[in-house]
Amino acid sequence: MKNKTRKQLVVGIRTNSDLSKEFLQAWKDAEKRNLSKGPASHLYFDSLDTLWRKLTPRRTELLQALRQKGPLSMRKLAFYLQRDYKNVRIDVKELSEVDLVRKTDEDLFMVPWDSIDLQIPLALAS
């Protein structure tokens, strides 16, 4: 049996300062060949408000549908979700802009992630 690695995306809030520190640490780890963590996929927003505008309940439902059903055309996705085609198209466009939805070579839409780990800081870093 094949050992399939689950693809996880970490979504969170980071300031420019946090991102700079994280980048610098990754650079240092790479220089030392300390790559034990392996590549990780992250998507950061500048505020919780921005995150919630992109990741609405309807869009989360859309992500789940694409992950469960596999790659779908826009029309089939709208039919499956029982939603207006135009609204689904807008949602797919917004989610594609932040790489939560991808287009296949066959012009179908899919979600490459098995799970999304949402990290919301409750206190500002000092």
CATH code for the domain of 100:
1.10.10.10
Assess if residue 2 is contained within a domain.
no
Assess if residue 92 is contained within a domain.
yes
Assess if residue 126 is contained within a domain.
no
Rounded mean pLDDT, 116-121: 84
Q: Which domain holds residue 83?
A: 8-119
Confidence class for position 34, pLDDT limits 50, 70, 90:
low
Confidence class for position 3, pLDDT limits 50, 70, 90:
very low
CA distances (Å), origin 50, targets 65, 70, 76 = 23, 27, 29
| pLDDT, the chain, mean | 84
Check pLDDT > 60 for residue 15: yes
The pairs formed by 112-115 with CB atoms below 8 angstroms and a separation of 24 or more are: 112/7, 113/7, 113/8, 113/9, 113/41, 113/67, 114/6, 114/7, 114/8, 114/67, 115/6, 115/7, 115/8, 115/9
